Structure 1
Amino acid sequence: MLDTETMRTFTKVAECKSFSKAAKLLFKTPAAISYRIKSLETDLNTQLFERTTRTVSLTLAGQHLYEHCSQWLLWLTTMPEELHQIRDGVERKINLTINNLLYDVEAVTELLSYLQEKFPFTNFTFNRQVYMGVWDSLLHGECHLAIGATGTESLDNMINIFPLGEINWVFVAAKNHPITHLEGPLSNETLRKYPAINIEDTSIYMNKRVAWLLPSQSEIIVPNITTKLLCHLKGLGIGFLPRSVCQKYLDSGELIECQVINERKPSPLSLAWKKSHMGKVMCEIINLFKFHHSLASSFLKNIDIKR
């Protein structure tokens, strides 16, 4: 009923909106084309074309069939190469998670462009997570590889890691904020009077972490590091920021570094991936980081790299 030749004939008529034009392109007679389409409609017991003396156009049922036939014919064209890639160990799908602290729009776009060109039949999904949400996506989600998992030790023996470096933190406030006029180190009693600006941990199954929040202190929750930085610049609250993110504002005087009693220790981050999903694509991404390719370096702007 829907053999390859019939599908090609049907889609060509739909695209040309003419039996005679389709016949020329397919090197058939108009009568042969018309007969094949009529036989298809009879077999399906469904009218696929509206016919007039001058034109033919798809019915709603014809439009539905055209969409599926087009997809099927396209897949038939690419299918041999897809099978060859699967045979050669190229994964059909890769899900990547990126730590919010390392997420960069241009870095993601450049990496995706590179991977799509090299592995055109692999489907890629990128998502952003915060703190333990990165590990959560690896251990309990569909993530295959994470850029910026916290720590330098794996939380599961089925996951390998490669240390990337660490985030160094600095406690900041806007230049006109009241605490910038006080001598440090500042006590917790002084700091808890002002809101802490935080990004909520996106973990679902694992215990959420809070970056910095004192007992009885109010909190402003924002979705990403860019918003957190802007809130600090506006003087809406206080807290820690990666030094690399705010250094130029410290240099300009828009933000002031404050000394506090409990400084935040550097946060080591790692590349982490599932051992069970190792194929050519995963190896390619891992090697980009291991051998310090510029595509990988674009994700590490906020990290102090230790080689």
Structure 2
Amino acid sequence: MLDHDTIRSFIKVAECSSFSKAAELLHKTPAAISYRIKTLEDDVGTQLFLRTTRSVSLTPAGLHLLDQCRMWLSWLDSVPNELRQITDGIERQVNIVVNNLLYNNESCAALLCYLHQKFPFTQFQVSCQIYMGVWDNLLYGDCQLAIGATGSESLSNNINILSLGDVEWIFVMSPNHPLAKGADTLTEEMMRPYPAINVEDTSKNLTKRVAWLLPGQKEIKVPDLDSKLQCHLNGLGVGFLPRKLCQPYLDSGQLITKNIQNSRQPSQLSLAWNNEKDGQIVQHIVSLFETNDPLIKGFLDLITPGSAKSKV
């Protein structure tokens, strides 16, 4: 009923609004095209075109079939290449999860453009998660590779690890914040009256990481690191931010730093991938990180320079 030639004929008539023009473009006779479309309408039991002496237009059913046929034709045309890709060990779908700390719009777009050009028949999907949410997507979701998994040790035997380095943290606030004019070292009693700005862990299955928060202190949760930074710049609250993210604002005086009794330790981050789901594409992405390819440098903007890499 809907063989390759019938689909092409139907689409061409719909696009040209003419049997004769479609026939000319397809190098067939108008009678052959008309017969094929009439046979299709008989097979589906529905009129697909409204015909007048001057024009041909689609019925509502015809409009629906046109959308479907375009998808089918695209799929039929891509099948040979997709099958060769599967035979060559190239993944049909690659899902990547990126830690909110390392997510970079420009680098993400550049990587996707590169991957699409190199592997045009693979579907790519990128998501952004926070703290243990990265591991959650890798262990319990459908992601094959994570950029910025927390820690330098694998949580599963089937997950390989490549250490990326550390993100250093610094306690900051706006120079207009009430605590800004006080002592250089702040006590819990001094900080407790003021909100802590935090980004919530997105893990659903693993134990969520507890953000910096004092007992009895108000917490304001925001969805991402950029929102947290803006809250600090506006003097809404206090808390830790990556040192490299803050440095331009510290230099300009838009943020200041204070010492506190219990500083936050650096966060170790890693590239992690499932060795039971990896194929040529995942391995290719891993090699980009192993060789410090310029394509991925934007993901490492907040990583301390010179951090040693190790592979597990």
Normalised by the length of structure 1, the TM-score is 0.97
Q: Aligned residue for 1:136?
A: 136
Aligned length: 307
Provide the C-alpha distance between the structure 2 equivalents of 1:51 and 1:228, rounded to a whole number of angstroms: 61
Secondary structure of the structure 1 residue equivalent to 2:165: strand
**Could you give the per-residue CA deviations for residues 23-78 of structure 1, whole angstroms, max 9, x where no partner exists?**
11122221222122112212222111100000111111112222222222222222
Aligned counterpart, 1:103: 103
- Secondary structure, aligned partner of 1:180: coil
Partner of 1:162: 162
CA offset digits 1:244-297 (Å, max 9, x no partner):
011011112221110111011111100011111111110111111010011111
Residues 122-162 of structure 1 show CA distances to partners (whole Å, capped at 9, x for unaligned) of: 11111111111111111111111110010000011111110
Structure-1 residue corresponding to 2:187 = 187
3-state DSSP of counterpart to 1:172:
strand
Matched with 1:51 is 51
* Structure-2 residue corresponding to 1:82: 82
Provide Cα deviations, 1:169-227, integer angstroms capped at 9, x if missing partner. Answer: 11111112222222232111111121101001111111111220000000111111111
What is the alpha-carbon distance in structure 2 between the residues aligned to residue 155 and residue 245 of structure 1? 28
Q: 1:212 aligns to what SS in structure 2?
A: coil
Structure 2 equivalent of residue 288 of structure 1:
288
Give the TM-score of the pair, scaled to structure 2.
0.95
Which runs of no fewer than 5 residues in structure 2 stay unpaired? Answer: none
Partner of 2:227: 227
> Which runs of 5 or more structure 1 residues have no equivalent in the other structure?
none
SS for the counterpart of 1:273 is: strand
The alpha-carbon deviation at position 13 of structure 1 amounts to 1.1
- Please state whether the residue corresponding to 2:142 is helix, strand or coil: coil
Paired letter, 1:103: Y
Please give the secondary structure, in 1, of the residue aligned with 2:107: helix
C-alpha separation in 1, matches of 2:267 and 2:205: 22
- What is the alpha-carbon distance in structure 1 between the residues aligned to residue 86 and residue 192 of structure 2? 57
Alpha-carbon offset, residue 232 of structure 1? 0.7
What are the residue-to-residue correspondences of 1:8-23 with 2, within 5 Å?
A: 8-23=8-23
RMSD across aligned positions (CA): 1.2
Query: Partners of 2:244 and 2:162 in 1: how far apart?
Result: 21
Distance in 1 between residues matched to 2:29 and 2:125, nearest whole Å: 47
Q: What SS class does the counterpart of residue 270 from structure 1 fall into?
A: strand
Instruction: Give % identity.
Output: 58
Q: Distance in 1 between matches of 2:253 and 2:2?
A: 71
Distance 1:141 1:31 in 2: 54
Distance apart, 1:11 and its partner CA:
1.6
Runs of 4+ in 1 over 4 A off after TM superposition: none
CA distance in 1, matches of 2:4, 2:138: 42
* Structure 1 residue 102 displacement after superposition: 0.7
Query: Aligned AA for 1:117?
Result: Q
Match of 1:216 in 2: 216
Amino acid at match of 1:34: S
The match for 2:264 is 264
Moved more, 28-37 or 51-60: 28-37
